[in-house]
Amino acid sequence: MQRFRKILVGVDLCDGSRPMNRELSASARSAVDKAIWVAGHTSAEVTFLSSLMPCLDLTPSMWKMREMQDYQAMIDGMHENARQQMTALVDEAAATGIKANELRTAGKPWQELLREAVTNDYDLMIVGSHQQHALGKLLLGNTGRRLIRKSPCPVWVTSSVEDGQVRRILVPTDFSETADEAIKLAHTLAQQLEADLHVLHAVEYHFEPQMRDLIVSLDEVEEYRSRLQSDSERQLNEAVSRCGLDDAIALDHRHIAKGTPDAAIRAAVDELAVDLVVMNTVGRSGLKGLLVGNTAEQVLNHLTCSILAIKPDGFQCPIEFPTEPAAQDASTE
């Protein structure tokens, strides 16, 4: 069964408060390339959405313009440039046989993306990462973080560091129902994108320090560690079985790591040369108004590969939008 039917892509046409001229930013280009590549493998329809709002806020230099028509002429030029850029993206997708359209909006980009996702039932949202850590690690910007926390559909944050191909997918699991859904989704993607799939669970030995303080013998400590390792291996195999993937995920692609989940995920990404991490998110205060869990927060800030975050069943976007979306289909202009 086809997993993705409709893909929504955030296209950033502004560099801060300045409009991009002709070339997209590295983050926007990464999101566009990923969307076209995924759609080509899944036969999904793509919608490119942009907003010029970050460029249209009146700055002190704009207020100094002697005549308002100078400002209006500049605004008209920005809109025309945006029209040409977005039309070019639709043509680019169409040239590869992908059905695509574009929306140009006037609101905050993250809000307009959420509005479109909520009102038009998308299967996947793809956006680019806007910031880079000083050491080259991906740092999730505010837009990506808001979308991951509030979007009703899975959010794929692409990294401009990786080359666009998805060869290896990693799914961390805590054995929850949402983690099982992440495994199923990752398997579907692995089939469609012809990628290798790996699953990972991290084991933390929480009581080992107390055991050592109580002068427990080394044999007992080792027995404790061995028991947790065996239990984790059993639970991981049971999770794979629950997902109906016993024959699809090889035993050597099922990994038990020692340490905190965020550290284990980062180490596995480096060791396995992972291109995409598929993660479930967890709620702190019920399904409405979901927040990303602590592990995801740590991981999202330090990965160089792309991230696909999914929600549990029943999740609702905490923002309510009017029945008529603000975005207008610019392809009809």
Query: Would you list the DSSP string of 209-274?
Result: HHHHHTT--HHHHHHHHHHHHHHHHHHHHHHHHHTT-TTTS-GGGEEEEES-HHHHHHHHHHHHT-
> How many whole angstroms separate alpha carbon 64 and alpha carbon 56?
15
Can you give the pTM of this predicted structure? 0.82
pLDDT digits (tens, 9 = 90+) for 194-243: 999 999 998 876 545 555 556 666 666 667 778 888 999 999 999 999 99
- Most confident by average pLDDT, 128-142, 243-257, 276-290: 243-257
Summarised one tens digit per residue, pLDDT across range 65-78 is 545 566 677 777 78
Residues 86-97 have pLDDT tens digits of 999 999 999 999
The DSSP code for 323 is S
Residue with the two structure tokens 């340490």: 259
Query: How many CB atoms sit inside 10 A of residue 79's CB?
Result: 15
**Cα dihedral across residues 74, 75, 78, 80: positive or negative:** negative
What was the pLDDT predicted at 2? 53
- Determine how many CB atoms are found less than 10 A away from the CB of residue 269: 21
Q: Which pLDDT belongs to residue 164? A: 65
| Domains along the sequence of the chain with CATH | 1-160 (3.40.50.620), 162-303 (3.40.50.620)
Residue entry with tokens 């008209």: 76
Strands (E), the chain: 6-11, 14-15, 18-19, 45-51, 100-105, 124-128, 131-132, 138-139, 155-158, 168-172, 196-203, 254-258, 276-280, 306-310, 328-329
The structure tokens listed for 279 are 């993660």
pLDDT at residue 284 is higher than 50: no
